[in-house]
Amino acid sequence: MKQTIGPRLLMFAVAATASGAVLGDVRLTNDFPGGGYVSTYTLATGVPYTDATLNECSRSKGRQNEPAVAVDPRNLRVLIGSSNDYCGVYNNGNDANGAPIPSGPIWLGYYRSENGGTSFQSSLVPGYPDDTSPYAALALVRTATAGDPVIAWDGHGRVFMGSESSGDPAGSPKTFGDVWVARFDNPAGENGNTLQDGKRFLGSVVVGKGSSAPNLLGVFHDKTAIEADRTGGRCDGTAYFAWTRFTGGKISNIYFVRSTDHGATWSNPMNLTPREGNLQDPDISVTGNGNVYVTYDVGALNNGQPNGVEIVKSTDCGKTFAASTLVTTYEPYNAQDVTDSGGAARDCGDFADHCQSGYTFFRRSTATRSTADQYDATHEWIYIVYDATKAGTEVDTGTTYGSLESGRGSQSAVYFLRYDGANGGSTAPRLVDNQRVGHQTLPDISADGGVLHMLWWDSRSDPCYSAARPIGNCANRSTVPSLEVWATRSMNHGDTWAFPLRVSDATSNPNYEQFDGRSVPFAGDYLWITSMGNFSFGTWTDWRDTISGVDAREAASDDKDGADVKQCRTKLPSGAFTGDTCPRDGGLDQNIYGAPTP
């Protein structure tokens, strides 16, 4: 039965932060006049500093996606968030036609709250190309762009922020494909006021170098994960980082490093999956006894390898890992189509990104997230969630679009299972919120302090929902607002779940064409939730502030998808169009929002 309760009804009618303040949706990315970005150097020291990138970020109304957020276990008023932040892209002047040049950095945001998530001060992790603050010299990175942010706290006031990073500072087509970790601590030391935890930047270290081949065709590192041991036990304070290593754009394996000196140095990368391939989406869990687990998604191969979730285990603080174990199989949900030229596509829009189905949609595929309760000394349980095809919903789409294969679609749903690391057993995967209408995607789960909290994107409010079509697409090829964030909790280790509730205040259209020259949507590959006991806070990508518009390049076409964003272009005598001369006017205003969750 379709649920129609609105945001914050029933027991969730009034949500409160850790500071006790009543809170609706909160914007983490304050990239608008009157909002503003402040250097992390200034935040930590009080000494004024700014640069062209921070100034641009303070007015850009730009794009942000793939959020992360983590609450300080020592002080629930302190939260650190991040995202792929495009706020500095247009910081390099205008071209001959007056269009701002999109050559500035895409970097990791650093969004700080000291009031339990009531508000956030927006900033950037140091080391972006234009950074000349005293912190810049501590950022030992060699790349011009950064993304896929992940965040973890230890139990001593330190926060670690991981990234993949690829662009060549010289502007060449080379893609380095590095991964690195930044670290922050309390300026007054571990015994200082915990409200200052995670505020002072100590440096960034490359933990895995890619190769400088163009178009990601060398060794490219992506799909990051991070965790730190907060147990107070034998591995306390050890930090762990994992990622997917793609080779030649084809074979992929899961790699892992650890740090025993609070992120100053890291071990040599270790391949956790030497006998397999087509793996990605690692996530790291630490159980109460200090054991380390890494889950990841397995893609089907001709050698009989199934689609599913595998796990590896370390009992020596991440020094070594046992062989992999298959936890479960699933039928994936991988949005796909065929371009007008006949090539395979995982997202569709206009021009070279147009697909034969005529739909406009962002990329999405089945992904796994996992966690453990580090304060649970009784169990060695790993809590796993993933979004996959809901059995029995498979349909012919009648178009080239599909989620199983071209022409074959399905409904996606969120599944949960509990894996017992002590004996290798697991509960059967089960639907968290069995809905007849709507797709569910990008779930995340948090467990610290005895309560499980989960959130996901949900399209049950999509007026055009169909298992045969992408999220937010109608039969006439128009797009509509369709995504909301929903959440639930479990007080008994996942045996049962509370009635799910809507978290986000706005229903959002994820299919705005804001990327690849305003031709295709991109929503990112994950959402994030963090918690400690009953307190939890979730973050998501949001389009409520995006201003729609008309793409002058399509004036002669019959495109009625409703996915075009505000842009300003002039037709030149040659017949070509200028670049967008008003990219700061709201057409690119994709943001990160957050709120307390059940």
Q: CA 11, CA 248: separation in Å to the nearest integer?
A: 51
Q: Which residue has the tokens 């206009």?
A: 350
Q: CA 262, CA 158: separation in Å to the nearest integer?
A: 8
Strand 139-140 relative to strand 200-208: parallel, antiparallel, unpaired?
parallel
Query: Is residue 298 included in any domain, yes or no?
Result: no
For 348, the 3-state DSSP assignment is: strand
- What's the whole-number mean pLDDT along residues 589-594? 98
CB atoms within 10 A of CB 43: 16
> Given this model, what pLDDT does residue 300 score?
84
Looking at the predicted structure, is the pLDDT value of residue 2 above 70?
no
Q: Which residue has the tokens 């084809």?
A: 250
> Given this model, what pLDDT does residue 10 score?
31
CB atoms within 10 A of CB 466: 16
| Angle made by CA atoms 54, 55, 58, in degrees to the nearest 5 | 85
Cβ-based burial of 521 (10 A; exposed 0-12, middle 13-18, buried ≥19): buried
pLDDT tens by residue, 448-488: 999 999 999 999 999 999 999 999 999 999 999 999 999 99
In a 13 Å sphere around the CA of 306, the CA atoms on its Cβ side amount to 10
Side chain identity at residue 13, one-letter code: A
Q: Tokens representing 346?
A: 């995982």
Query: Is residue 422 included in any domain, yes or no?
Result: yes
Supply φ then ψ for residue 196, to 5 degrees.
-100, 5
Query: Is residue 162 included in any domain, yes or no?
Result: no
| Cα four-point dihedral sign 502, 504, 506, 507 | negative
> What percentage of the chain reaches a pLDDT higher than 70?
94
pLDDT tens by residue, 24-44: 899 999 999 999 999 999 999
Looking at the predicted structure, is the pLDDT value of residue 6 above 50?
no
Looking at the predicted structure, is the pLDDT value of residue 301 above 90?
no
Structure confidence at residue 297 as a pLDDT band (50, 70, 90): very high
Structure confidence at residue 514 as a pLDDT band (50, 70, 90): very high
Which residues on adjacent β-strands are paired with residue 441? 457
Owning domain of residue 578: 1-25+331-598
Query: Is residue 15 included in any domain, yes or no?
Result: yes
Cβ-based burial of 191 (10 A; exposed 0-12, middle 13-18, buried ≥19): exposed
Residue 164 is given by DSSP the state E
In what order do the strands lie in the sheet containing 484-490? 440-446, 452-458, 484-490, 501-502
Cβ-based burial of 172 (10 A; exposed 0-12, middle 13-18, buried ≥19): exposed
Query: Is residue 130 included in any domain, yes or no?
Result: no
Nearest to 87 by CA among 22, 38, 26: 38
Query: Is residue 47 included in any domain, yes or no?
Result: no
- What's the whole-number mean pLDDT along residues 377-406? 98
Query: Is residue 103 included in any domain, yes or no?
Result: no
What is the domain count for the chain?
Answer: 1
Looking at the predicted structure, is the pLDDT value of residue 4 above 70?
no
pLDDT tens by residue, 82-96: 999 999 999 999 999
- What's the whole-number mean pLDDT along residues 317-343? 98
Query: Is residue 414 included in any domain, yes or no?
Result: yes
CB atoms within 10 A of CB 423: 8
Supply φ then ψ for residue 579, to 5 degrees.
-70, 175
CA 104 to chain centre: 21
> Given this model, what pLDDT does residue 172 score?
76
pLDDT tens by residue, 184-234: 999 999 999 999 999 999 999 999 998 766 555 668 889 999 999 999 999
> Given this model, what pLDDT does residue 437 score?
98
Nearest to 25 by CA among 540, 590, 586: 540
Task: Identify the residue with better confidence: 370 or 214.
Answer: 370
Looking at the predicted structure, is the pLDDT value of residue 257 above 80?
yes
Looking at the predicted structure, is the pLDDT value of residue 8 above 60?
no
> Given this model, what pLDDT does residue 304 score?
79
Q: What is the DSSP string of 449-467?
A: TS-EEEEEEE-TT-TT--T
Structure confidence at residue 22 as a pLDDT band (50, 70, 90): very low
Structure confidence at residue 19 as a pLDDT band (50, 70, 90): low
Instruction: Say if CB 246 and CB 207 are below 8 A apart.
Output: no
Spatial neighbors of 363 by CB under 8 A, at least 6 apart, are 335, 346, 347, 522, 523, 525
Question: What is the rounded average pLDDT for all residues in the chain?
Answer: 93
- What's the whole-number mean pLDDT along residues 401-426? 98
Strand 147-153 relative to strand 239-247: parallel, antiparallel, unpaired?
unpaired
Long-range pairs, 55-59, Cβ under 8 A, ≥24: 55/91, 56/87, 56/88, 56/89, 56/90, 56/91, 56/104, 57/31, 57/85, 57/87, 57/88, 57/122, 57/124, 58/31, 58/32, 58/33, 59/31, 59/32, 59/33, 59/584
Structure confidence at residue 23 as a pLDDT band (50, 70, 90): low
> Given this model, what pLDDT does residue 457 score?
98
Q: What is the DSSP string of 279-346?
A: EEEEEEEE-TTS-EEEEEEE---TTSPPSEEEEEEESSTTS--PPPEEEEE------BEEBTTS-EES
> Given this model, what pLDDT does residue 26 score?
98
Residue 54 is given by DSSP the state H
Q: CA 302, CA 386: separation in Å to the nearest integer?
A: 23
Which residues on adjacent β-strands are paired with residue 225? 242
Q: CA 536, CA 461: separation in Å to the nearest integer?
A: 24
